[in-house]
Chain A
Amino acid sequence: EPEVTQTPSHQVTQMGQEVILRCVPISNHLYFYWYRQILGQKVEFLVSFYNNEISEKSEIFDDQFSVERPDGSNFTLKIRSTKLEDSAMYFCASSEETKNTEAFFGQGTRLTVV
């Protein structure tokens, strides 16, 4: 069964450092997403991406965040200058369409900012 893969599974970084979280969505999917989940809290939407541009972003997704699809397979989330409160699980997801279809989620990257 096709799956969304994320790397690394765990990333530890120092506050103020830049991190890039990587995702390989399912190959025929056109819509890509990032979500995050702070420990013990809800899964929160960060950004959706379609046709090489952001289609929607949340208030969390400020200027410190950016997304990119650098080639035909990867989808990345960059945090320019990490803060302690960026520590969370980050989930990538993809879907074929946005209506009447399911989103497939990766297993997540646990980001720890120290």
Chain B
Amino acid sequence: DAKTTQPTSMDCAEGRAANLPCNHSTISGNEYVYWYRQIHSQGPQYIIHGLKNNETNEMASLIITEDRKSSTLILPHATLRDTAVYYCIAFGAHGSSNTGKLIFGQGTTLQVKP
């Protein structure tokens, strides 16, 4: 599975968009970009995933660059409840996708401030 790199921490003002970047320069063609978050030691929560095209759901938008070497998770109107650790995971190479194993890094700690 490709390695991902994320900033250690970010701040965002409540009500503003939070843009969380992720680098995955070694991602292979069949690997998806997944985002999960973990709120205060609760179980990780799925947010969104994508392969090539930008994706949007009720929680967030995912923008993937054309070369697929990086992506950005966008929380359009961050609230205090979005304070969490956000994990970007490249997933889908044959080995891990066969078993479903997710490899979590350190993630980005997003602090949403009033």
> A102 contacts which of B41, B43, B49, B97 (Cβ < 8 Å)?
B49
Q: Are B101 and A91 touching (Cβ within 8 A)?
A: no
Please measure, in the bound complex, the distance between the C-alpha atom of A95 and the C-alpha atom of B44, giving whole angstroms.
Answer: 13
Q: Which of A56-114 contact B (CB under 8 A)?
A: 56, 89, 91, 93, 95, 98-100, 102-108
> A98 contacts which of B46, B49, B99, B106 (Cβ < 8 Å)?
B99
**A95 nearest CB across to chain B (Å):** 6
When distances are taken between beta carbons in the complex, the residues of chain A under 8 Å from B32 are 100
Please measure, in the bound complex, the distance between the C-alpha atom of A89 and the C-alpha atom of B103, giving whole angstroms.
Answer: 16
Q: Which residue of B lies closest to A108 (CB)?
A: B43
Q: Which of B38-70 contact A (CB under 8 A)?
A: 38, 41-46, 49
When distances are taken between beta carbons in the complex, the residues of chain A under 8 Å from B76 are none
Chain B contact-residue range equals: 20 to 34
Please measure, in the bound complex, the distance between the C-alpha atom of A42 and the C-alpha atom of B85, giving whole angstroms.
Answer: 11
A20 at the interface (CB under 8 A from B): no
Q: A-side binding surface: helix, strand, loop or mixed?
A: strand
Q: B-side binding surface: helix, strand, loop or mixed?
A: loop
Chain A contact-residue range equals: 20 to 34
Please measure, in the bound complex, the distance between the C-alpha atom of A105 and the C-alpha atom of B44, giving whole angstroms.
Answer: 6
Please measure, in the bound complex, the distance between the C-alpha atom of A37 and the C-alpha atom of B87, giving whole angstroms.
Answer: 14
When distances are taken between beta carbons in the complex, the residues of chain B under 8 Å from A4 are 43
> B104 contacts which of A43, A55, A99 (Cβ < 8 Å)?
A43
Q: Which of B90-113 contact A (CB under 8 A)?
A: 92, 97-106
Q: List 25 A-B contacts (CB under 8 A).
A: A31-B100, A33-B100, A33-B101, A33-B102, A35-B104, A42-B106, A45-B103, A48-B99, A48-B100, A48-B101, A55-B99, A56-B98, A91-B44, A93-B43, A93-B44, A98-B97, A98-B98, A98-B99, A98-B100, A100-B32, A102-B49, A103-B102, A105-B44, A106-B43, A108-B43
Residues of A within 8 A of B (CB): 4, 31, 33, 35, 37, 42-45, 48, 50, 55-56, 89, 91, 93, 95, 98-100, 102-108
